[in-house]
Amino acid sequence: MSEHSGRCMCGAVTFVITDLRPDFGACHCEMCRRWTGSAFLGISVPADAIRFEGGEHVRTLQSSAWAQRAWCGQCGTGLWYRVTADSPMAKNYEIPIGLLDDANGLELTREIFIDCKPDCFAYQGERRTLTRQRVMELYRIDLEEPEA
């Protein structure tokens, strides 16, 4: 696919994705819900397929034992979720689709922590869904840990 550009709200942090796969997922876990205000709609991008500018404005938080979240220190826009624990997922950035200058044509193919979703909204269509329990089993995450 062609290059896709994106940025935070204020434009201090910009990026270009060189290889964007069109499928993306929604996470309804409690942390993503609070972080985004609704659900995290994130597209998975290998680290070698994205280039950031304005890195000096990026702030990060180790938000759980296995993952990091980043935001723009100027405007507060959430920039990525990234697994830091030793895992095949650790090479990917999960980038909010709302940061893309053009997110048309992408496809929501999976929803995780579906049982944590408030009952006041739902995305259209059918797709793969995973409960919190199933996600924890798949990633062998200790259920005593806080959510992703």
Q: By the criterion CB under 5 A, which residues form the site for Zn ion?
A: 8, 10, 12, 27, 29, 32, 72, 74-75, 148
Residue 91 φ/ψ, nearest 5 degrees = -85, -5
Task: Choose between 1 and 122: whose C-beta lies nearer to Zn ion.
Answer: 122
Min CB(26)–Zn ion separation in Å: 9
Task: Choose between 4 and 96: whose C-beta lies nearer to Zn ion.
Answer: 96
Min CB(95)–Zn ion separation in Å: 14
Task: Choose between 49 and 75: whose C-beta lies nearer to Zn ion.
Answer: 75
Min CB(27)–Zn ion separation in Å: 3
Min CB(88)–Zn ion separation in Å: 18
In this structure, which long-range contacts are made by residues 110-114, counting pairs with CB atoms below 8 Å and at least 24 apart in sequence?
110/23, 110/25, 110/26, 111/25, 111/26, 111/27, 111/28, 111/39, 112/25, 112/26, 112/27, 112/28, 112/29, 113/27, 113/28, 113/29, 113/30, 113/32, 113/147, 113/148, 114/28
Task: Choose between 50 and 72: whose C-beta lies nearer to Zn ion.
Answer: 72
